[in-house]
Amino acid sequence: MLSRLSELIWADWIWFPEGHGWADLTDHDGKVFPKPQDLWATIPIAFCFLVIRQIFERTVAIPLASLLGVSDKQRVRAPPNPVLESYFCSTSKHPKQSSIESLSKQTGCSVQQVQRWFRRRRNQDRPSKLKKFREASWRFTFYLLAFFAGLAVLIDKPWFYDVKLIWENFPKMPLLPSQYWYYMIELGFYISLIFSVASDVKRKDFKEQIIHHVATIALISFSWLVNYIRAGTLIMLVHDAADYLMESAKMFNYAGWRRTCNFIFTMFAAVFIVTRLIILPFWIIHTTFVYPLSLYSPFFGFYFFNGLMCVLQVLHIFWAVLILRMVVKFLPGNDIVEDERSDKEETESDDEDGDCERREKSRNGHVQNGHTVLNNNHNVPRSLKARR
């Protein structure tokens, strides 16, 4: 039963165009082809990345952070309070006003004290600026090295200049040693990101990041299995082209180097849009999705591969919107770039502003559509408005 099911799942007609199959990937005459068991090598490589990352962060990232002036503000810890802690952990980190008033009665604290406790408690769970810098510097180092390594692998290949050549002699294209290591290292790195997701900085696009990592791992693995190696290397290179710029912009952002951060982020936005929204869909995806129809009849593997490509492209459009929003924010006022995906730390003035607004509401008493109308923003400094 299991053998029949395995034969059905791995049937040639599912994964290859008509007239081709797994037999085409058998080594012969000194030519080596990708094999499913090769992918097991990515697991120890992923664990090696986790170890190397710890060493890198301690020996390189932390001294670099000190050199660039990365520093964390001293955070005031929330005092121990079993009632509030229980609500924070089990119910909500952002209680509604009615819940705050109820907790105030239960604990004997004022409403302002309860709000201040939750704000400080939320700040305790937020990653420090140094932790963010360490993570960004590690990813910057990998993406930078991976991009130039990929460029070295592809620069002398004819399909780097004529994308349609990725289908030449498919699937009987022998595997090159440089392609093997490029694949194993890239796949091992993305698997290491899955392993470290619990300890990494969680941003607002956490779910999208997980989908991206899973889709990338599936795409790289599948392209290896069916010998879409040429297309796979081009896709990995296009992705790495912008990532190291984003991570370096983050590093200078955490260090407070405003002009450097803005300059690098502008470069990143331009490279991201060109590579992810122009080159990838109109050159690479067109060559993997449209051009093959003139060579082969559609098959399941064709749809599966391009389905994963479409998932990645949707995520690219999602992130492009966030990137453009950040560009629009910092260009007019020349302010520092704030990562739209980051959870901003709350400050003491946030509560003070909220208290002032509540007192103003009680004094005004005029309500429109269920909300008190406020008109007290004309004297607020621009820097305070920006923080809000």
Specify the amino acid at residue 192. Answer: S
pTM of the model: 0.78
The predicted structure's pLDDT at residue 166: 94
End-to-end CA distance of the chain: 63
**For domain 82-125, which CATH number applies: 1.10.10.60, 1.10.3720.10, 1.10.10.1400, 2.60.40.3950?**
1.10.10.60
The predicted structure's pLDDT at residue 82: 86
109's tokens = 């604290």
| Domain limits, the chain | 49-67+128-330, 82-125
Q: How far apart are CA 133 and CA 344, in angstroms?
A: 15
Question: Do residues 296 and 302 make contact, with C-beta atoms less than 8 angstroms apart?
Answer: yes
- Given a cut of 70, the residues of the chain with pLDDT beneath it are 1, 204-205, 330-388
